[in-house]
Each structure stands twice: as C-alpha cells, then as structure tokens.
Amino acid sequence: MPTPPEPPTPPEPPDSFEHGFAHVNGVRLHYVSSGSGDPLVLLPGWPRTWWQYRTMLPLLARHFRVIVCEYRGMGESEKPASGYDKATMARDMHELVRHLGYRRVNLAGEDVGSWIAYFFAAHYPQSTARLAIWEPGAPTSALGDLPALPAPDGLNAWHLGFNQLDGLPERLLAGRYRTVVDWSADQLAVSPKSIDEHSREIYARAYDSADAIRAVAGWYRTLREDLRVAAGFPRLTMPVLVPGGRYLALSRASNEHLATDIRFVEIPDAGHYLSEEQPQLLSRELISFFEGRAAASPSSPPSHPTTATA
C-alpha cells in the first residue's frame, strides 16, 4: 500500500496576487486574482491547478483584472460528491463572476477548463465578452475519434475511459499521482522540462487524495452527457480564439463550426501544455485578442491560415 499523502501545501501566488474563496452555487471555490482593467477569468486543465498559469499571471495582470479559478473538484476548491456536469460547473463560474461584482467577463480555459468555458459562453452569452479555449476547446464528437491506443504523435485518449472507471482510479492512484503527472508532461509536451520538478510535485500533491481523484472521475464520467447537451447549442456569436501547438488539428476539428467569429492560431514549439511550454507567446496572443487587437505577431506559418469564419 502506498504511504498516505500529506495534506498539500498551497503554493504562493506571484507578487501582488492573492488567494480568495467564495461560496457559490452550493460549493466553495478557490481563486487567485490581481491586476486591474477588464476582468479575465482563467480556468486550468487536468492534471493541473491554478499554478499552471503562474508565469502568465504577471504578464496578463498588466492589462486585465485576472481571476484564475480552481473549479469544483480541483486544488483548494471543494470536492462534493456531485455536480460535475459542465452545465453545473459553468453555473458555478457564472455565480462566482456575479459574486465578484462583474456582469461581463473575458474567459479562457485549457483542457477540462476549456469545456467549462465553452458551456459558460453557450449558457451565458450576455456575460461573455470574448472566449479563448484550447486543448481541445469545446467538448464535441471529435473527442470520440481520439485513439485509445498510442498514436505516432503521442496523442491518445486512454484517460477519457480510465478516469470514468468506478472506484479503480482511487485505488490505483491515491498517493501515486506523480506517475500520471510525469507521464502526461513527458509524453504530451514538446518541452517536458518546461514543467519543472517543483510544479510536478505541486500537481501530484493536489491530486494524490482519493477525494481529488474521485472529483476527476466526476469531470469525465459526465462527458457523454456533456457531448449530448453541447450538440444542441447554437453557434456562439462572441469572438472566439483557439490557440494550439502540436495538436492544433484536434482543436480545429472540435471547434471550427461552433462560432460565427472564430480564429485559430498556432503556437510554435508547444505540445498540450501551452500555458507552461510557451507562456509568453500565449500571453501575447491572449492580450491582443482580449484587447480586440490584431495578433501581436504572426505565430502560424503561411501554410496554416490562422483565421476561419464558420
């Protein structure tokens, strides 16, 4: 049996950022915030926490009031037994936005965070100024086409099924989550060293408990219903940005028909973890997009158009 994990020690945010908590929609959520200007809400991915945006936060806070939220089941946020469908999690975010005094926000999300961000924009378009989602973006049937067996580019969807298994992830991974963190970084990042030892340990300790692993299962066990619900959404009408690295083709397939004003941009030398592999380039693209300007610099080769209107 593995040694029971120690309670995780919350990492300290960058200078000028501070931790906050809010009770909304029946759940206690943790967030980190700083800066001034238009509000920008960032949602992390799996197996990550708010810490994945640590390098980007000071850059973005020069332009926006940045709020990075650990959603239901993640990090220091509460891990209830239910409520992991993305409509409920989007409502969590909407109530948090209102709790913080905002009626309309910019919204960005990676991985599982991108699913929640998409549901937020679809359910609350009047509260969404602009939307950026990546790796993969909206939950669509394109996820079902991912291979379960290893592909030449390293991409496979083993976790989509594994994380849904009843009770097995908790029994196998409690106290051992560092194995998942390392495998994911080493296989899916172009630059695995960009996810350093300290960060890997932060992520592992955040997911090492049975409660945290059960919450992850909740995010994935609801995916089939999320796909069914998302298939009925109308096209989004706010501007949408979809950045991507090695797996941009998947993000394009998942999102190209879901908005009337959508732009795809390639982030060079990046795999799945854009916010850690290329934080400066991603920040620059997000700042330009959320400020309503053209791209800060061309980041796609001429053979890959960066703009599409679906």
Per-position pLDDT tens, the chain of length 310: 455 445 456 677 777 899 999 999 999 999 999 999 999 999 999 999 999 999 999 999 999 999 999 999 999 999 999 999 999 999 999 999 999 999 999 999 999 999 999 999 999 999 999 999 999 999 988 776 666 666 665 566 777 778 878 888 888 899 999 999 999 999 999 999 999 999 999 999 999 999 999 999 999 999 999 999 999 999 999 999 999 999 999 899 889 999 999 999 999 999 999 999 999 999 999 999 999 975 544 333 333 333 332 2
CB contact at 8 A, 134 and 299 = no
pTM attached to this predicted model:
0.89
Q: Which residues share a beta bridge with 68?
A: 32, 42
Residue 229 has which token pair? 């619900």
- By annotation, the residues acting in catalysis are 111, 220, 272
Q: Phi, psi (5° rounding) for residue 24? A: -140, 140
Q: How far is CA 174 from CA 166, 211, 212, 220, 283, in A?
A: 14, 9, 9, 18, 34
Domains and CATH numbers, the chain: 18-142+225-308 (3.40.50.1820)
What would the two tokens of residue 165 be? 């298994």
State both tokens at 299: 């980041």
Query: Which residues lie closer than 8 Å to 267 by C-beta, 6 or more apart?
Result: 243, 244, 245, 274, 278, 281, 282, 285, 299
Q: How far apart are CA 114 and CA 97, in angstroms?
A: 17
